[in-house]
Amino acid sequence: MTHALQPGAESASAAGTRPARSAPLPGGKIVLEPDEISRALTRIAHEILERTNGGADVVLLGIPTRGVPLARRLGTKLAQVEGRPAPAGSLDITMYRDDLRLRPARKLGHTAVPSSGIDGKTVVLVDDVLYSGRTVRAALDALSDIGRPRAVQLAVLVDRGHRELPIRADYVGKNLPTSQRELVQVLLTETDGQDAVIVGLSPAGAPGQAVEASR
Amino acid sequence: MKRHLISAADLSRDDALLILDTAEELAQVADRPIRKLPTLRGRTVVNLFYEDSTRTRISFEAAAKRLSADVINFSAKGSSVAKGESLKDTALTLEAMGSDAVVIRHPASGAPHRLAGWVRGSVVNAGDGTHEHPTQALLDAFTMRRRLGRIDGLRVTIVGDVLHSRVARSNVLLLHTLGAEVTLVAPPTLLPVAVSAWPCEVSYDLSGTLPKSDVVMMLRVQAERMSAAYFPTVREYSRRYGLDAERMALLPDHAIVMHPGPMNRGVEIAAEVADSPRSTIVEQVANGVSVRMAVLYLLLSGAGPALDEIGTGSPAATEAEIAEVAR
């Protein structure tokens, strides 16, 4: 949950539309270290190149919050491997969620589609955690309102299982079997000051921090 | 701010910035091939207009439709109001038909406030008498922030018929909340008695104020509300308080000229000023749709009032979060 805007900041968007940093889950177990995250992304980048004919016409769209820096990192890695930069943007799915009526209205994330557009491109959606699949369902709806990609693929850093919709990822950083009582938290340097994937038990008192990463 | 948007004074700084930031994202929808979001599917918004209006009604209608809400338009002319139905009965009738929000414009100040006590849905004030017009103030603030990059510390001069202007009152309250310095310029007869209690400066000298203004907002001379002789002639008003090209040259280079519309060209604003690149009058209309989308989204989309929750963090939110974690 993105809480109050930072005091003193004129605008959250001017400040980069970032929620407050998440602190690591107390008592959580680190399952991916920074270098493991980096290696997983490198592998995903290579897989994307294999499956898309060298990354021609690939557009990376990250789902806020933490899909966005992941998409940017993948774009950098694609450029390093193939020497061809892949445009990276962000796709906010808040307005397409199916649980809007279950909780107070949310603050919107930022949508920035690369200027090349998505018509006829291969769009790779990027998110941190794949869980119920509902976020991806919303993202597919959001995409179809923006244009008509040739193909849509999904890359996630962590797949924790427990799908509620018929959705699967094309590229997975790490498959992480979890119980539904557990929380999976992804921390990234860009948003949280450090890279880590942490699994912990849901703390009954203060669930707010990890909700973002657990959906 | 609670379930309703009645007055700009109800908005905390965080609430107002949340609306502006949300509007900033929603403004992108206007540039897309499909200018529609599914967010308010199945919700009904009633436009209850007891006073003539073009841009506000159409703007609210466009905003609600872009969010996929159903819109019912009601104007007092040609309805049962002409047969003597009271506001309360009309409101209850509309609610029985399943409205989730009522957007009301009414010639009586305070009508939206009364209405909020009668209906279960949200009430949005779209202008009540000479009281307030909060979405206009929000879209004006939004326009200033887009053009000038900030609101905090801006020097805003509001010129003209402050006495009858709900736009001026809402703007003074909102801009003060957002940290701008507001100066009202008007003939003494067109200032409210209690203006000294407003969080703003007052001046009678337009030419002297313009060089110190980042924004100048011209108000319409509201002939329909003028029941007495507030100034000798239109020509004299125009000479002293109208904005022509010569006066506009006194403004700093970056300054913008705003007008809530509809304009009386040649009275409070000269045609060459209204059509100059400094004028934001057409932008204001486009921004109005984005801001009203943001207001409707924040009031209607969630289980509870978003603004209240994000401003203060209500316990209800925590429960919803717990529910989501469990899911």
B147 is catalytic: no
**What is the pLDDT, as a whole number, of residue B146?**
96
- For A61, phi then psi, to 5°, come to -125, 115
A20 assigned to some structural domain: no
CA distance B21 to B306: 14
Write the ipTM.
Answer: 0.83
At B241, the pLDDT band (50, 70, 90 cuts) reads very high
Contact A96 B38 (CB under 8 A): yes
Subunit contact A4:B311, Cβ cutoff 8 A = yes
Q: What is the DSSP letter of A108?
A: P
Residue A69 forms part of a structural domain: yes
Q: Taking residues B129-139, what's their average pLDDT?
A: 96
Which of A12, A99, A207 has the CB atom closest to B21's CB atom? A12
B242 and B152 in one domain?
Answer: yes
Identify whether residues B146 and B252 lie together within a single domain: yes
In sequence order, what are the residues at sequence separation of 6 or more whose Cβ sits closer than 8 angstroms to the Cβ of residue B86?
Answer: none
Q: The domain containing residue B259 runs over which residues?
A: 134-280
Residue A189, phi then psi, degrees to nearest 5: -55, -40
Whether residue B93 lies in the annotated active site: no
CB-neighbour burial class of residue A119 (10 A; exposed 0-12, middle 13-18, buried 19+): exposed
A126-135, B141-150, B303-312: the lowest-pLDDT one:
B303-312
pTM (predicted TM-score): 0.88
Q: Are B109 and B129 contacting, i.e. CB atoms less than 8 angstroms apart?
A: yes
Element (H, E) at A187: strand A182-187
CATH number of the domain to which B163 belongs: 3.40.50.1370
Residue B325 lies inside a defined structural domain of this protein: no
B239 included as an active-site residue: no
Alpha helices for chain B (secondary structure H): 13-26, 55-66, 87-96, 111-116, 134-148, 166-177, 206-209, 234-241, 245-248, 271-274, 281-300, 306-312, 315-326
Catalytic residue among B105, B164, B259, B292: B105
The CATH number of residue A118's host domain is: 3.40.50.2020
Total domains in the fold of chain A: 1
- CA distance readout (Å), A152 to A52, A139, A149: 11, 10, 7
B209 is catalytic: no
Give the HSE-up count for residue B248: Cα atoms under 13 Å, Cβ half-sphere: 23
Compute the nearest-CA separation of B15 from chain A (Å): 9
CB proximity B36 to A under 8 Å: yes
User: Rounded distance, CA A63 to CA B236, Å?
Assistant: 59
The burial of A67, by beta-carbon neighbours within 10 Å (0-12 exposed, 13-18 middle, 19 or more buried), is given as buried
Domain span at residue A118 reads 35-177
Per-residue pLDDT of chain A (215 residues; tens, 9 = 90+): 333 333 333 343 333 344 568 888 888 999 999 999 999 999 999 999 999 988 889 999 999 999 999 999 999 999 999 888 899 999 999 999 999 988 888 899 999 999 999 999 999 999 999 999 999 999 999 999 999 999 999 999 999 999 999 999 999 999 999 999 999 999 999 999 999 999 998 765 444 434 443 44
Looking at residues B168-194, what average pLDDT do you find?
Answer: 96
Lowest mean pLDDT among B75-84, B100-109, B210-219: B75-84
User: Which of B3, B57, B106, B133 is labelled catalytic?
Assistant: B133
